[in-house]
Amino acid sequence: MVERIKAIEQEALAAIEAAKDAAEVEELRIRYLGRKGLVAELLQNLSSLSNEERPRFGAALNETKNKIDNLIKEKQSALSARQLDQKLKTEMLDITLPGNGVKRGKRHPITQVMDELIDIFGRLGFKIAEGPEVETDYYNFEALNIPRNHPSRDMWSTLWINDELLLRTHTSPVQIRVMEKRKPPLAVIMPGRVYRRDADVTHSTVFHQVEGLLVDTHVTFGDLKGVLTAFLHSVFGKEKKVRFRPSYFPFTEPSAEVDVECVMCQGAGCRLCSGTGWLEILGSGMVHPQVFKYVNYDSEKYTGFAFGLGVERVAMLKFGIDDIRLFYENDIRFLRQF
């Protein structure tokens, strides 16, 4: 039996030495050391031997198994080294080729415009205030003089979560939260995301607003006009004309839409401005006394004005973009331009 072991050992060692590639070595490993290999077959005969023969047979078989296993590993290592050497000789790396440049990211155009608007209002003395994007009916509507079942609620195309919670339709709720905690004088802007059930080339379900509020004694509509005119001249240039048109918002009285001279036709009339020469840019007005009641402000003592504008609207006009959806498609060809 020991002679049989030695014969298998010599046969295996000779075959492994003669192997030419890794696949052949793997076949030999399975033939001799696999679960159904020759060494495993000899191991099955161990129980049929006498107590005297079994230790000698087991030791010889174990020695043969180790020799075969070690030689297979050496052969695999040698073949791997030979393969690498051949690869290094045939495949060349040209270290003189220039590397791939790392492309630097830039701020999104919406972020650029948002930062610009915040900076302008900051220079006008306004501080930043923020609030939750998931709002209650009270802060989003009722405290802004929009009671339940009021027809003006249809202006906001609300995305409701349940009967009381909703995704805020404007950043105006932050005005209420600020006034609840602070007493006049105050001048704040509320930048942030808002949500409405509306989507086309000029409207998006998710978009950005910057709203503002100033409250003090003796604040007039003239102050409102002065601040917004200075703001729009900073954004579009001092040569642009600005006009105020009467409008309606439940939380301001009187209210006004603010237009700026068309940035495309310079007021001559074009497709963008529908031939009027003007572009609507924001809504504004004097804070309604009813709103002051909700926050316990004395409307006989304090007056104030509020305004709001869409950041995407300003960005579209500044950059000459005719489809709001381009801001959210993440097309690198579009974003590279900014």
Q: At what angle do helices 221-236 and 311-319 cross, to 10 degrees?
A: 40
Q: Confirm if 283 and 255 have CB atoms less than 8 A apart.
A: yes
User: Domain ranges in the chain?
Assistant: 2-90, 109-335
Does the pLDDT at position 56 exceed 80?
Answer: no
Does the pLDDT at position 37 exceed 90?
Answer: no
CATH of domain 109-335: 3.30.930.10
- pTM for the model stands at 0.66
Does the pLDDT at position 159 exceed 80?
Answer: yes
Residues 188-219 pLDDT 10s: 999 999 998 876 666 788 999 999 999 999 99
For the chain, give the mean pLDDT. Answer: 86
Distance CA 28, CA 19 (A): 9
Give the model's confidence band at 152: pLDDT under 50 very low, under 70 low, under 90 confident, else very high.
Answer: confident
- Average confidence (pLDDT) over 148-171: 86
- Average confidence (pLDDT) over 34-43: 74
pLDDT at 2: 66
Tokens of 222: 């003239």
Does the pLDDT at position 318 exceed 80?
Answer: yes
